[in-house]
């Protein structure tokens, strides 16, 4: 079997624990590229952050960013964009504002954030810790919902950071009941709200269809729970060695950890004898 597409996450896959790309990983990406394999970044990061990684690795193919909400080339022109319409964003933001919560609206080119005042009993500064690498211009407002209504803002994602995990869980359940067509990921006190089609696996399957690449010709490398569905849809789903057990169980192959150059090890094992392909 010749593999024609290699899709990779950034955090926990291409980046080591020190947020650097090792020389072995760079050489592995070059090796795959010289084989003619279509190499694609699939990441939770924003477009601007993913583009920096792509340029560093000299990758020039399309990228799937914002957790699957955007498929775009390096120019930034959307190929597939799954936006939450203004009405949906308004309803979600208005409900989240009933809790002590920092809210951030994310699009490809802008961010809006509310001026949340944290409670005195919360130690330390509340900050987004989702590894998103958000780099767009940011505008602060008293209420996200009011700004969405006045300017008819759409969004690729809506983030909420709550002071209590139980508030986040309750808000998630209520939002899913009241707003059809959304999916919500929860990570402790954090919620990420997206349109239900805005997934990594949907954007990847769309790209594969456009390129004429079949499932069995695809390899996906991931490390987190957000990668589980994409791991299962690929011909070979590869989990990094440091991945949670539930992620490893969804994979066909478990490589070494990111700090042990797991991408390089997998590439050498799979692509060493493969002839050059064309996409």
Give the separation between CA 20 and CA 53, rounded to whole angstroms: 10
| Contact of 259 with 17, CB cutoff 8 Å | yes
What local confidence, expressed as pLDDT, does residue 122 receive?
Answer: 42
| Contact of 159 with 103, CB cutoff 8 Å | yes
What local confidence, expressed as pLDDT, does residue 123 receive?
Answer: 36
What is the mean pLDDT, run by run of 10 residues, along the chain of 279 residues?
94 95 96 94 94 94 96 95 98 96 93 76 41 65 96 97 96 97 95 97 97 96 95 97 96 96 94 78
pTM: 0.89
Tell me which residue has tokens 């936006």. 83
Give the separation between CA 234 and CA 231, rounded to whole angstroms: 6
Tell me which residue has tokens 């996409």. 279
**For residue 258, which of 10, 15, 9, 19 has the smallest C-alpha distance?**
15
Domains (range + CATH), the chain: 5-81+198-271 (3.40.50.1000), 86-195 (3.30.1240.10)
């Amino acid at each position: 079997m010749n593999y024609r597409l290699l899709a990779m996450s950034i955090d926990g896959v291409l980046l080591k624990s020190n947020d650097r790309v090792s020389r072995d990983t760079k050489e592995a990406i070059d090796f795959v590229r010289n084989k003619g394999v279509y190499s694609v970044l699939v990441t939770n990061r924003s477009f601007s952050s993913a583009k920096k990684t792509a340029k560093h690795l000299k990758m020039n193919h399309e990228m799937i960013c914002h957790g699957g909400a955007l498929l775009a080339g390096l120019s930034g022109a959307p190929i597939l964009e799954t936006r939450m319409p203004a009405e949906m964003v308004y309803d979600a933001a208005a409900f989240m504002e009933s809790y002590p919560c920092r809210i951030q609206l994310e699009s490809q080119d802008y961010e809006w954030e509310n001026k949340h005042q944290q409670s005195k009993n919360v130690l330390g500064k509340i900050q987004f810790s989702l590894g998103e690498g958000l780099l767009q211009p940011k505008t602060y407002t008293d209420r996200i919902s009011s700004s969405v209504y006045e300017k008819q803002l759409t969004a690729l994602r809506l983030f909420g950071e709550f002071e209590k995990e139980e508030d986040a869980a309750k808000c998630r359940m209520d939002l899913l009941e009241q707003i059809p067509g959304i999916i919500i990921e929860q990570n402790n006190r954090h919620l990420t709200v997206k349109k239900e089609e805005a997934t990594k696996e949907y954007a990847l399957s769309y790209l594969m269809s456009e390129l004429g690449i079949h499932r069995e010709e695809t390899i996906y490398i991931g490390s987190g729970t957000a990668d589980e569905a994409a791991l299962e849809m690929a011909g070979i789903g590869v989990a990094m060695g440091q991945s949670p057990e539930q992620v490893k169980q969804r994979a066909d192959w478990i490589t070494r950890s990111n700090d042990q150059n797991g991408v390089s090890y997998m590439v050498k094992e799979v692509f060493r004898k493969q002839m050059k392909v064309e996409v």
